[in-house]
Amino acid sequence: MESTLPQVAATALVNASFAWIAGVLASRFWLLKQAAGWQRTTGKRLSSAMSAGLIVCAAAVFLSLWTESSLMGDVAWLDAWPVFARMMATTHYGHAGVAALVVLGVTMAAHCLLDRPDAGKAYVGSLAALLLLVAATRVAIGHAFEQGPFSVAVAVEWLHLLLMALWTGIVFVAGWLVLPHVLANDAPPSGERAAYLASMSNWAAAALAAILASGAYNAYRVLGSPRDLVDAEYGNVLLFKLALVLVAIALGGFNKLVGLPAAAASQAGLRKVITVLRIESLALLLVLIAAAALTGSAPPGQ
């Protein structure tokens, strides 16, 4: 069964909200030592952003499950409850969805209980462990799971999902939340700003290297030949996704080589970095939408 627009929309919302959560958590880790005033106020913003991300992600998972129930039962969307309840109780897809909702609920509880100014590594470590489990529930309903729950394919897909969320989330959170706040509250440029920019750049670069490696393996696994990129609809969407990734890489490369050195030294440079990050975030949002379409589509030969 090919993806429908409601399925793709719900899955894309899951992908985007999970990426946002990963980006917020990375920023919280980089700001554990809050020496500057903007770091303390940014920490409060990140706390609210984490709550919003977890709520949206849980709602998106529920919408994804409900939409799938409607389609599987061939019933109107508002009349899908009987099919939804049956799917949750009797199918692997439903069990994975329930597990995702439970882990997200536990993550929200941990966030509320541990989110204190002095929580530090205990907060970050606890939420990171729970997010690893959320990612595992997402992989459990993907194509890789057909190779077996403990297969190399599942491990690589899990790693790819996590790192893609991390890279995308770093760009989202830096471009739309943290750096605009830094721009408004950190004049002249400080060592704390330079440290944040360096962490952002280094983490994104490391994540990208692993994304390219794991993505290459996934493409090798699901495509019968390079011609499938052109001849198969799945390959067309994958090619579109790869093109957008290249655009994002080019923008990130510009920031790393040109923008970040300027941002560490001047407000004008930081404004330029924010603009490039926001353009990059739009490209990566389209990548997540393409990934959502691939999740619900059968690879060539299946």
Per-residue pLDDT reduced to its tens digit, 239-294: 899 999 999 999 999 999 999 999 988 899 999 999 999 999 999 999 999 999 88
Question: What pLDDT does 46 receive?
Answer: 94
**In degrees, to the nearest 5, what angle opens at C-alpha 222 toward C-alphas 219 and 226?**
60
Q: Which whole number is the average pLDDT over 110-130? A: 89
Cis, bond preceding 299 (omega within 30 deg of 0):
no
Q: Is the pLDDT of residue 34 over 90?
A: no
- Lowest mean pLDDT: which of 3-12, 172-181, 240-249? 3-12
CA dihedral 224, 228, 234, 235 (to 10 degrees): 120
Cβ proximity of 174 and 277 under 8 Å: yes
Q: What is the band of 40 on the pLDDT scale with cuts at 50, 70, 90?
A: confident
Instruction: Give every CB contact of residue 215 below 8 A, 6+ residues apart in sequence.
Output: 160, 242, 245
- What does the domain layout of the chain look like in residue ranges? 5-295
Question: What pLDDT does 140 receive?
Answer: 87
Q: Is the pLDDT of residue 149 over 90?
A: no
Query: What's the rounded Cα separation, in Å, for the pair 32 and 9?
Result: 35
The string of DSSP letters for 133-148 reads: HHHHHHHTTSGGGGG-
Q: Is the pLDDT of residue 113 over 60?
A: yes
